[in-house]
Amino acid sequence: MRVYPPSTTLRIAIIIWTCVTSGKILANEHTAFVTCPIARDIGPQSDVCFIAEYNGKTYGLFDPNGYNRPMLKHKVMVEGEVIDGEMICGATRINGVLSVMREEISPECNQILPDDGSVRTKNNNLFLRMPEEHRQRAFKLMAQVADNPEASLQEAIYDPAPFPPVKPPYVRQMLNLHYPFNSKRSSGPELRKLLYLIHYAKFSGGHFVVKSYQGATRLDNGEVMEEKSGMAEERADMFAELLIELGLNKKDYSIEVQPESVAATGVGDWKNRRISVELNPAE
Amino acid sequence: MYNKYLERLTKTCITMLVCFSVFLANAAEQSGSWWSPGDDRVFPRFSEYQNASGRFGIINTAGPIDTSKHPFFAAKGPNGRACVTCHQPSDAMSLSVSTIQQRWRDTKGTDPLFAAIDGSNCPSLPQGKPESHSLLLEKGLIRIAMPWPPRPFNGKPIDPEFSIEVVRDPTGCNLDPEWGIDSPSSAISVFRRPRPVINIAHLMELPHGVPPFNNFFFNDAMPLPKGPDTGLTVPQQLMADGRGLTPKYQATDAALTHLQLFDALSDNDLEEIEAFERQIYGAQSFDNLAGDLTSPESPPGLGPQALVISPKARLGNNPLNKIFGEFSMWASTADESQEVQQDKVKAFKASVARGSEIFREVRFYISDVGMYNDKGLGNPFKRSCGSGCHNTLSMGMDLSPGFMDLGLNNFPWQNRRSDLPLFKITCRDDVQPQSFLGREIYTHDPGRALITGKCTDVGATMTQQLRGLAARAPYFAGGAAANLRELVDFYDRRFNIGYTEQEKADLVNFMRTL
């Protein structure tokens, strides 16, 4: 065991004490707060990105869960883990989720920072997000345009390949779909996972067990924000409608609603706003 | 002497012949431009129709059709109208206000187009007087009577999230004891432009390449609806408020309302109408300055053939497709003032090429658009016309699909219109408000909200394809922009874009060639 001299120990203690008492968030520490988002212009060929100032520090707001980007005129709830050293939108990244507070308008949230050249994002070209095979086809067509302008009307954005057939042995499948605060809109990527689960069930057979939850979030300032009453039921109703629209029969699934908000702990509370789906393949 | 006489006679005869030919040509043009129901005419494989900027071309991929008994062209209801009455080939299968005014003059207001039911500001007004038809004559608007509260669609009852109050009623129809909101049939009268019934095959294709939103509605991430007649998922692009999900459903609705038919159209009629709508493709085919838009030297995205060959319902906002394809063959690096003097055609083409680039590349803050910024895109969303709301390859509508409130119906962005009714919408406290206007909204047309009953939908209407613009002014669902310049000016003001005069001119020139 390494022993630090008393002066170093004291220094470390002072740093920790300063951070704790000033309310600043340490790297990899969980944080949750509600504030106005600030839009930042990052150049003529880019979308804006968003930051938030909280307790004297600036955070880059990243939406990993599909399109749920912050909106001026509305506050945003930020929940996640501070990722030290990773920058987004010119500020420290928080790995977590964003919820736009849609219930009321906040006209004071209306700041756009002009482009100062300090932040540039990766090229957002659609082609660069495509599978390699599709990208190569698109680039090949682009090379043809000078000689054959009609190539510019050919298909460049392709449908993804259909899910491959599923082979036995079939095993239990689990999926969690997460929701923004007071929202029942699922994200695109999670919907794709649900579609795969339904595809899986076409081969495996079986029964879906669905549980719908609502949550509460303990903010850093101690305030607990609870989702509105009945949110879990609203999510369940919408999800049942979704399953029927996707071709399931009522006998194919059961839905259980947890009407009480899962208690907030201040760490990862956003994970409680969810619908969990379990597919138990037929025997 | 005799020779001189003969020479003069010959010249006179030639002059008279030329004059007569011009007269005949003009006569043919006049009688050829307006299609009356039941005209014994053939709808050809290819046809062109004159407009102020050039000609609009239609390709009918199934070949010539005898229209005399065709249900799209034959009068079906008691008011003498047919589908073609409001969807004229000369007007990109819509109806321009100049055509409407000409028809009024030609028939002294007796054409079935001006039927009391919706060709006048309200059926209770004295008919045949221009002031009773002012919205149609001045803005090209047809009255749409929407049931209130909304009728269930997809079998699901609607519990409206808001109440609606008539604040101003210049047409008298919303407070009319027979036709208004408090009448036995309780209806909200809104006034909208007829949408162009062209390139429908593009509008009816589900979006490609945007999983999972090829089958899901972006706004609520729920599956897109299914056509009541087919049971198949449909993209909702057809109508301004999404109420008619398929061509057959739209035709049925239109027949019962606009044509005042007592019974629904037969299955056979509906089949024929849908087949016709799916087989016609149209775009501007000739421009008075640029010339033939279908020539091999023209940009490949111009002319109706582009719609025939182009893949349907694809995202076009990428470096290859550039929404409407390549325009660089018209680009010019020469000094502009010299061009204008030396070659007007070349200068115009260069302007069109610049316009296409401005359309797809010049970004601006798209902000506070209900049902757009709040569907996850963020507010603001910094995009161009083409990479934002008009992103679909060769068509330029929103692929997602895009019901949205651009401010064309709702205050404070709308040009305050004294000719349109004004409604006050009050949303319940327990529902999600309209994201940027809150729970109290003033609007000339509640739009999609009259179908869904949702507060967030107030004022939202479906984006429109950009084909045949030169043939079908005025623009926007409420006819707010008399011409393309006014359309550009609206956006410039609404989104504080700051286009230069040259950029505005380039955009107008670009759009008139579509």
Question: Which of B220, B321, B369 is best to mutate for the A interface (most A CBs within 10 A)?
Answer: B321
Residue A84 or residue B304, greater confidence: B304
Do B145 and B86 share a structural domain? yes
Q: Give B71's DSSP letter.
A: T
* Chain B residues 424-443 with a CB less than 8 Å from chain A: 432-433, 435-436, 438
Decide if the complex's ipTM is over 0.85. yes
Name the percent of chain B in helix, strand, coil, to the closest 5.
Answer: 30, 15, 50
Give yes or no for residue B359 having a pLDDT over 80.
Answer: yes
Give yes or no for residue B384 having a pLDDT over 60.
Answer: yes
- Would you say residue B448 lies in a domain? no
User: What integer is the mean pLDDT of B423-433?
Assistant: 95
User: What integer is the mean pLDDT of B44-49?
Assistant: 97
A chain contacts of residue B212, beta-carbon cutoff 8 Å: 188, 191-192, 195
- Would you say residue B307 lies in a domain? no
Q: What domain range includes position B361?
A: 315-391+483-514
Q: How would you list the strands of the sheet with B280-287, edge to edge?
A: B46-51, B54-60, B280-287, B291-292
Q: What is each CA distance from B335 to A127, A220, B348, B353, in whole angstroms?
A: 34, 61, 13, 15
Do B188 and B117 share a structural domain? yes
Distance from CA of B303 to the nearest CA of A (A): 12
**CA–CA separation, B511 vs B513, rounded Å?**
5
- Which pLDDT tens digit goes with each residue over B267-282? 999 999 999 999 999 9
Do B322 and B261 share a structural domain? no
User: What integer is the mean pLDDT of B232-251?
Assistant: 91
B209, A48: Cβ pair inside 8 Å?
Answer: no
B chain contacts of residue A149, beta-carbon cutoff 8 Å: 299-300, 325-326, 329
Q: Is the dihedral of CA B52, B53, B56, B57 positive or negative?
A: positive
B320, A152: Cβ pair inside 8 Å?
Answer: yes
Distance from CA of B483 to the nearest CA of A (A): 28
Radius of gyration of chain A (CA): 23
- pLDDT of A128: 76
- pLDDT of A1: 41
Provide DSSP, B141-203.
PEEEEEESSPPPBTTB----SEEEEEEE-TTS-SS-TTTSTTSTT-EEEEEEPPPP--SHHHH
- pLDDT of B25: 37
Do B338 and B261 share a structural domain? no
Do B319 and B276 share a structural domain? no
Number of domains comprising chain B:
2
Quote the percentage of chain A above a pLDDT of 70.
Answer: 87
Do B351 and B208 share a structural domain? no
Do B146 and B57 share a structural domain? yes
Half-sphere exposure of A27 (CA within 13 A, CB side): 6
Identify the CA nearest to B204 among candidates B401, B61, B463: B401
Q: Which fold has domain A6-113?
A: OB fold (Dihydrolipoamide Acetyltransferase, E2P) (2.40.50)
- Does residue B300 sit at the A interface (CB-CB below 8 Å)? yes
Residue B222 or residue B419, greater confidence: B419
* Gap between the terminal Cα atoms of chain A: 55
- Which pLDDT tens digit goes with each residue over A229-256? 999 999 999 999 999 999 999 999 999 9
User: At A8, is the pLDDT very low, low, confident or very high (cuts 50, 70, 90)?
Assistant: low
What is the count of residue pairs from A and B with beta carbons less than 8 Å apart?
A: 146
Structure tokens of B7? 């020479």
- pLDDT of B7: 56
Do B325 and B214 share a structural domain? no
User: At A161, is the pLDDT very low, low, confident or very high (cuts 50, 70, 90)?
Assistant: confident
- Which pLDDT tens digit goes with each residue over A130-152? 888 888 999 999 999 999 999 99
Structure tokens of B389? 């709301």
User: What integer is the mean pLDDT of B306-327?
Assistant: 96
**CA–CA separation, B444 vs B144, rounded Å?**
13
Residue B309 or residue B9, greater confidence: B309
Q: Model-level pTM?
A: 0.90
User: At B338, is the pLDDT very low, low, confident or very high (cuts 50, 70, 90)?
Assistant: low
Q: Does domain A173-280 have CATH number 3.30.1330.60?
A: yes
| Domain ranges, ordered by start, for chain A | 6-113, 125-160, 173-280
Half-sphere exposure of B200 (CA within 13 A, CB side): 28
- Which pLDDT tens digit goes with each residue over A35-45? 999 999 999 98
Residue B83: exposure state from Cβ atoms within 10 A (0-12, 13-18, ≥19):
buried
Question: Which of B159, B206, B320, B372 is best to mutate for the A interface (most A CBs within 10 A)?
Answer: B320
User: What integer is the mean pLDDT of B391-418?
Assistant: 89
Q: What is each CA distance from A229 to A213, A273, B226, B467, in whole angstroms?
A: 11, 13, 32, 48
Least confident of A80-84, B391-395, B434-438: A80-84
Give yes or no for residue B431 having a pLDDT over 80.
Answer: yes
Q: Is B216 helix (H, G, I), strand (E, B) or coil?
A: strand
